[in-house]
């Protein structure tokens, strides 16, 4: 680790800075596929899709991003730091007693984290409630996004949410499934098919291809919730 972080708040960070930011947490110069499985998805979302900034954390009209797969959050913290939600100098304390940045995020401690996560299968049901709550208040513009892992789909709570959200026509609800083939028992028929059967719009793309991700994230899906299955390298090669 030979990178110097300046205290200059006006510095902007790009995608190429993310490995260095992650290194501040992990102490490793390089990170394997497991640590970076969500990195490109998170970057494209925060860089080009989500309408949320550190100044808009209380804005009812902001887009909501809910990280449901809270395990291995270094990429998430790196992106939040790069986008100015979290001070860069918080990163080296990762996981320590006095740090707001734990190995699973806590929304009460992390600016910009819409939910705390760690126990799998909680984000999608909460996202359903968020989408319903915004709709009930006439806020039809903000989008709700939730990121889950392919193995996280083992949890039955997701299927309660998937089966409800389609028929309920939650158009402002978006799910990204980062698929690194980590489920021991892959969903029969595939991930996208599971969502499609419940009435969702579904796209499967290369989870490392920023243009493909952007196109999938911004694809129109009138009247239906939308899922993007982002395929990355298998966790266990």
Scan for tokens 């996202």, then name that residue: 127
x-or-dash string of contact with another protein, 115-154, rule CB under 8 A: xx--x-xx-xxxxxxxxxxxxxx-x---------------
In angstroms, what is the minimal distance from the CB of 168 to another protein? 8
Size of the residue set binding another protein (CB under 8 A): 32
Residue 40 vs 63, nearer CB to another protein:
63
- List the structure tokens of 222: 């009138």
Q: Which residues contact 57 (CB under 8 A, 6 or more apart)?
A: 85, 111, 112
In angstroms, what is the minimal distance from the CB of 174 to another protein? 14
In angstroms, what is the minimal distance from the CB of 231 to another protein? 27
In angstroms, what is the minimal distance from the CB of 104 to another protein? 10
Residue 116 vs 149, nearer CB to another protein:
116
In angstroms, what is the minimal distance from the CB of 114 to another protein? 7
Residue 69 vs 122, nearer CB to another protein:
122
Q: Considering only residues 51 through 70, tell me which ones interact with another protein, judged by CB under 8 A.
A: 60, 64
Residue 218's closest CA among 206, 228, 233? 228
Distance of CA 7 to the CA centre of its chain: 27
Residue 21 vs 127, nearer CB to another protein:
127
In angstroms, what is the minimal distance from the CB of 161 to another protein? 5
Residue 194, number of CB atoms within 10 A of its CB: 21
- List the structure tokens of 196: 């499609």
Query: Among the candidate windows 8-16, 84-92, 161-169, 187-195, which touches another protein by CB under 8 A?
Result: 161-169
**Which one of 34, 163, 187, 203 is in contact with another protein (CB under 8 A)?**
163
Residue 71 binds another protein (CB under 8 A):
no
In angstroms, what is the minimal distance from the CB of 230 to another protein? 23
Residue numbers at the binding site for another protein (CB under 8 A) = 60, 64, 106-108, 114-116, 119, 121-122, 124-137, 139, 156-157, 160-161, 163-164
């Amino acid at each position: 680790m030979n990178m110097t972080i300046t205290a200059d708040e006006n510095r902007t960070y790009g995608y190429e800075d993310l490995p260095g930011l992650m290194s501040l947490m992990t102490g490793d110069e390089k990170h394997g596929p497991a640590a970076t499985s969500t990195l490109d998805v998170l970057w494209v979302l925060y860089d080009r899709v989500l309408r949320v900034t550190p100044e808009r954390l209380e804005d009812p009209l902001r887009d909501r991003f809910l990280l449901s797969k809270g395990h291995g959050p270094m990429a998430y913290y790196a992106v939040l730091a790069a986008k100015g939600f979290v001070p860069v100098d918080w990163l080296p304390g990762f996981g320590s007693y006095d740090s707001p940045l734990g190995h699973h995020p806590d929304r009460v401690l992390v600016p910009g984290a819409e939910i705390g996560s760690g126990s799998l299968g909680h984000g999608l049901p909460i996202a359903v409630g968020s989408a319903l709550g915004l709709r009930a208040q006439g806020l039809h513009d903000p989008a709700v996004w939730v990121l889950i892992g392919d193995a996280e789909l083992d949890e039955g709570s997701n299927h309660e949410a998937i089966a409800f959200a389609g028929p309920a026509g939650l158009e402002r609800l978006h799910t990204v499934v980062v698929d690194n083939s980590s489920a021991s028992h892959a969903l029969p028929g595939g991930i996208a098919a599971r969502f499609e059967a419940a009435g969702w719009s579904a796209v499967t793309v290369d989870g490392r291809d920023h243009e493909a991700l952007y196109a999938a994230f911004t694809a129109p899906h009138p009247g239906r919730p939308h899922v993007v299955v982002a395929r990355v390298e298998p966790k266990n090669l």
